[in-house]
Chain A
Amino acid sequence: MKLDELYDRYGEKLYHYLTVKLASAEDAEDILQEVFLRLARYSIRWKFIRNEEPYVFHVARNEANRFLKRKHQNQINPENATALARVIHDSLVTDCPDPSDKESLSLALAHLPEEQREVIVLKFFEELTLKEIAAVCGLSLNTVASRYRYGLSKLKSLLEAKDD
């Protein structure tokens, strides 16, 4: 697959996913470059891949995890949650007339546990199905479904707490 085509299909989604995962647009750009390079190197494998999208996200996820491991930063610290909230805020657009909605959602997402946030971001913003998310993360469908449910409920309680 050509790089152009690859970008048109997955580039924007990957960039957004990596931006939230790495809590930095600059790092996301660097890692996206690595991901594209890797995918270009693996071009021979494309013929044998049935579901391209989970595969592409899986490669991106592995690359991001390697990067975080190098930086000794597997989890986002609570102190960095505000910075992450800012990054999420800048990476989203909304039709809501009230701008504080986006702010509240960003803050709530930043305070979610990483594994729940990842599932929610992949489901809502990158439009993957739960089955595809399971393939991306190398988890069972049940685990992903339960992370999704717990994530939504925690997100709801965080948003309500903010409103109070």
Chain B
Amino acid sequence: MTDPEKEMESYLSRFRRKVPPPGFKEQLIGRVEERRKLEQVITPTRWKIAVACLALIVIFLGANFFINRTEERYLSAFLDIKQATESGIVEEALPSVLADVPELAGLENSPEILKRRIREKAEPRKQKIEEYLNLLNIKEEYNGS
């Protein structure tokens, strides 16, 4: 260590930090304790319970979605119904609808009219599913389950 450094060190050693004002400690600790109490309203156990409930809800919703989808596929396969979106149905049924109604040739691009026709065409399929479900219900009632 060089002399100028020692010189500076001895100069600096004449200074000390000031003590905080009286009551500072009590005030600080009081505030920290207060905030600790607020934090502890949601205790770790409560956090765990909340997370577990949330996880159960997510699992239930996921399972519900999965079961619905499986059931839908099963029914479609059983009744030989194509899974079709509305636009898919429009494309599929467009030529036959136009053949049935020649006046619509000019209104070919009117999707509202086409959708209505197609819905009417799809109606028997829905009825078929409903009938099947009714049959299932009757069967269950008959079996007493």
Please report which residues of chain A, range 28-45, place their CB below 8 angstroms from some CB of chain B when the two chains form the complex: 29, 32-33, 36-37, 40-41
Interface size on A, residues (CB 8 A): 35
Which residue of B4, B12, B24, B32 contacts A124 across the interface (Cβ within 8 Å)? B12
The A contact surface, by secondary structure, is helix
Q: A124 near B15 (CB under 8 angstroms)? A: yes
Q: B4 near A91 (CB under 8 angstroms)? A: no
Q: B17 near A16 (CB under 8 angstroms)? A: yes
Interface size on B, residues (CB 8 A): 25
Task: Give CA–CA (A149, B20) in the complex, Å.
Answer: 30
Task: Give CA–CA (A40, B35) in the complex, Å.
Answer: 11
A-B contact count (CB 8 A): 77
Q: B33 near A12 (CB under 8 angstroms)? A: no
Q: B8 near A152 (CB under 8 angstroms)? A: yes
Chain A contacts of B5 at CB under 8 A? 149, 152-153
Which residue of A11, A102, A155 contacts B25 across the interface (Cβ within 8 Å)? A11
The B contact surface, by secondary structure, is helix
Which of A54-62, A65-73, A75-83, A92-100 is found at the contact surface with chain B?
A92-100
Task: Give CA–CA (A120, B8) in the complex, Å.
Answer: 11
Chain B contacts of A124 at CB under 8 A? 9, 12-13, 15
Q: B12 near A120 (CB under 8 angstroms)? A: yes
Task: Give CA–CA (A124, B17) in the complex, Å.
Answer: 9
Q: Which residues from chain A sit less than 8 Å from chain B, CB to CB?
A: 3-4, 7, 11-13, 15-16, 29, 32-33, 36-37, 40-41, 90-96, 101-102, 105, 120, 124-126, 149, 152-153, 155-156, 159
